[in-house]
Amino acid sequence: MPARTPRRSGPEDPGQPDDVRRPGPAGSRGVAFPARLWRALEQHPAPGARAVQRAWRSPLRGPWLTSVFGVVLLVSLPVVIITGLLDYAAYGPQFGQAFPHDVGWLRLPPFDWPTRPSWLFRLTQGLHVGLGIVLIPVVLAKLWSVVPKLFDWPPARSVAQVLERLSLLLLVGGILFQIVTGLLNIQYSYLFGFDFYTAHYFGAWVFTVALVSHVALKLPRMVTALRSRPARDVLHTSRAATRPEPADPDGLVPALPEQATLSRRGAVALVGGGSLLLAVLTVGQTLDGPLRRAALLLPRGRNPGTGPNGFQINRSAAAAGIRPADTGPDWQLTLTGAGSTVQLDRVALLAMGQHTARLPIACVEGWSTLQTWTGVRLRDLAVLAGVTDPASAHVQSLESAGLFRQATLQSNQVLDPDSLLALRVNGVDLSVDHGYPARVIVPALPGVHCTKWVARIEFRSRGDE
């Protein structure tokens, strides 16, 4: 392969696997152990391997473009990863209600999820899903820019390169797996047939550790490549003046490039435009009012009906198996705590001190909506049950099946002055789909833990634990 062999070597970098195409320290071509294997591999290319190596044409491929996409992902992917881990923490893993349960060391240190700011979960989950979608064009562009490496021959020249290829399989498989499972989940399409939480959580860790390794190995190359071509120059280079980068040690620059059909600034703008398009079509699911309709292709892009109860539902009463008789005048709320049991009907609850709070309800699927809720403070109900210093509260729904028919609230979530057993929303009674006769609403709590059709609340004092 004469066109590729005489590559200029990059700056010496101790993190990179030695490239045997480069002269070794002694001036000779070094081959790692077992040398015979790597030589044989090099001398016996797979059918078509050489042809594929010569087939790359884009003059834009090269370390600079790869590094631009790389630096965007380097800055933004940690946000997606951290918000994802925070969402796990928001589910209350200390009560065994975050999925998957058994995660060993692969989690954030335990802490009580705060109730302030009330839009915290709306923000973290909105960012996780929204940014995850917006980054898809960047991920695909990054993969496009490095795809010649996949077809490189020989595939490895040392054990180090074999392992690195394996870690890249985890990296690429990880990001694609996360994107695919995430996209299917927010669109209610469970084609994959396995538990989404388990797959997405552990997939994230495989991806994260592969990303950390990749960044640790490639960061110096990224910095060098970005410095090689000032952004100002790229901005002022037209398509006609666009030339390939000098040959690089990674072999990203094609041996036989065609004339550019797109400038570098054009390629970056194209990918950015793709992200912008996805952003415009996604952000609507976190907005209220007419702008919600901008999420034209997402399930949460329309409001279910009009009026005070015309906002998003996560689980309809019919789907939860709630019958009209369950929520009729005979409905009673049972409060337990400190050995006593109190029963209240809806009239009695309405006769208690009412509090109104404007709080978001935000779903793990990334959508959210801000509504005005009215009801009884949870801490007042705790006092009624004889618990003045609750350590936690266990809320049960009338729903008899379903993953989220119950939830445990932390002490701060019971005591927050805006934490309510809501009876009304936007000035009217809750609709049955929104949890009539009564539902929980707590600042910054994931929507699925704001239990609907509440039947029972058990307040546990610190001594009980």
Partner 1 sequence: MSEVVARLRTGYGAGLRHALLMILCLAVAGWVALRLADEATAGPMLLWFVGAVVSHDLILFPGYATVDRALRRAARGGGREVGPARSSLLNHVRIPALAAGILFLVFLPGILGLSEDTYRAATGQDRFPYVARWLAISGGLFLISATVWVIRLARWRQRSGQPVASGPG
Of 207-246, which residues contact partner 1 (CB under 8 A)?
Answer: 209-210, 212-213, 216-217, 239-240
Give the residue with the Cβ less far from partner 1, 333 or 448. 448
Residue from 4, 10, 18, 107 binding partner 1 (CB under 8 A): 18
User: Toward partner 1, which CB reaches closer, 167 or 354?
Assistant: 167
Which CB sits closer to partner 1, 260 or 420? 260
Answer whether 397's CB lies under 8 Å from 463's CB. Answer: no
Tokens of 105: 């060391």
Q: Residue 412 belongs to what H/E stretch?
A: helix 411-415
Choice between 299 and 386, CB closer to partner 1: 299
Q: Quick one: which of 9, 261, 340, 341 contacts partner 1 (CB under 8 A)?
A: 261
30 vs 155, beta carbon nearer partner 1:
30
Query: Which is closer to partner 1, CB of 4 or CB of 302?
Result: 302
Give 189's DSSP letter.
-
Site string for partner 1, 307-326 (x = CB under 8 A): -----xxxxx-xx-------
Nearer to partner 1, 10 or 173 (CB): 173
Q: Which stretch binds partner 1 (CB under 8 A): 73-81, 112-120, 182-190, 454-462?
A: 182-190
- Burial per residue of 69-84, b for 16 or more beta-carbon CB atoms within 10 angstroms, e otherwise: bbebbbebbeebbebb
| Count of residues near partner 1 by CB under 8 A | 87
Part in contact with partner 1 (CB under 8 A); list of ranges 81-89, 198-206, 336-344, 453-461: 198-206
Site string for partner 1, 335-364 (x = CB under 8 A): ------------------------------
With 0-12 CB in 10 A as exposed, 13-18 as middle and 19+ as buried, what is 219? Answer: middle
| Closer residue to partner 1, CB minimum distance, 138 or 454 | 138
Q: Which stretch in 29-37, 377-385, 422-430, 453-461 sits in contact with partner 1 by CB under 8 A? A: 29-37
Judged by CB under 8 A, the stretch of 67-75, 130-138, 229-237, 347-355 that binds partner 1 is 130-138
Task: Please give the Cα distance from 440 to 144 (Å, whole number).
Answer: 47
The dihedral over CA atoms of 279, 285, 288, 294, expressed in degrees to the nearest 10, equals 50
Where in 96-125 is the site for partner 1 (CB under 8 A)? 102, 104, 106
Q: Which is nearer to partner 1, 51 or 383 (CB)?
A: 51
State the minimum distance, in angstroms, from the CB of residue 97 to partner 1. 19
Q: Which of 67, 71, 61, 70 is nearest to 243 (CA)?
A: 61
CB atoms within 10 A of CB 281: 17
Q: Which of residues 80, 120, 129, 133 is near partner 1 by CB under 8 A? A: 133
CB of 74 to partner 1, least distance (A): 16
- Are the beta carbons of 298 and 432 closer than 8 angstroms? no
For residues 144 and 191, is the Cβ–Cβ distance under 8 A? Answer: no
> Which residue in the set 223, 297, 383, 428 belongs to the binding site for partner 1 (CB under 8 A)?
297
CB 148 within 8 A of CB 50: no
Place of tokens 């666009």: 242
Number of separate helices (H) and strands (E) present in the chain? 13, 10
Residues between 373 and 432 with contacts to partner 1, criterion CB under 8 A: none
> Which of 296, 351, 383, 403 forms a contact with partner 1 (CB under 8 A)?
296
Q: Which of residues 72-101 bind partner 1 (CB under 8 A)?
A: none
By three-state DSSP, how is residue 430 classified? coil
Give 54-59's long-range contacts (Cβ < 8 A, gap of 24+): 54/3, 54/255, 54/256, 56/148, 56/254, 56/255, 56/256, 56/257, 57/254, 57/256, 57/257, 57/258, 58/254, 58/257, 58/258, 59/242, 59/243, 59/244, 59/254, 59/257, 59/258, 59/259, 59/260
Minimum CB–partner distance for residue 416 and partner 1 (Å): 28
Q: Exactly one of 114, 244, 257, 266 binds partner 1 (CB under 8 A); which one?
A: 266
Question: Rounded distance, CA 360 to CA 371, Å?
Answer: 6
Interface positions, 138-177, toward partner 1 (CB under 8 A): 140, 143-144, 147, 150, 157-161, 163-164, 166-167, 169-170, 172-174, 176-177
x/- contact string, 31-70, with partner 1 (CB under 8 A)?
A: -xx-------------------------------------
Residue type for position 54: R
